[in-house]
Amino acid sequence: MASSQVDAAVATVDRFLAALEADVNNPASGEWGIVLEAAGYRLDVGVAIRAQMLRAQAAVLPAAVIDPHQLLYWNRQAPFVSFAENQAGEVFVCGELPLESITTETLDRFLGLLLASATRAREFAIENS
């Protein structure tokens, strides 16, 4: 991977996140934390460049709040993002984009889908509790 491609991706993500009306921190080059709101609750999104991909993930729900089959059903519906569980059963939404595809438009769509997916799962859990 050419360093120039990573540098270009970092610059694009920096510009995009600077334009958001959200709390953003940048603990290291190629790593960001974004604080958003999903279904009325704080959503901490981690974004990082790893190898040739831009990865993002956020903890969405605690364990045993939603049927995993519902998450599998939703995984078939949205591009770029999917739900996963850790060993403790906590639900995360995560996704990846190849660095060569990063533009303002793809970042907007990618992070928008990640936020919409987290909101959908939280609202479903609230409505069905």
4: exposed, middle or buried (Cβ count in 10 Å: 0-12, 13-18, 19+): exposed
The parts of the chain modelled with pLDDT lower than 70 are 1-2
Token representation of residue 78: 């949205």
How many CB atoms within 10 Å of residue 57?
A: 18
Per-residue confidence (pLDDT) for residue 3, from 0 to 100? 80
Is residue 74 within 8 A of residue 84, CB to CB? The reply is: no
Can you list the domains of the chain with their CATH numbers?
3-127 (3.30.1460.10)
Token representation of residue 116: 């919409």
Per-residue confidence (pLDDT) for residue 60, from 0 to 100? 98
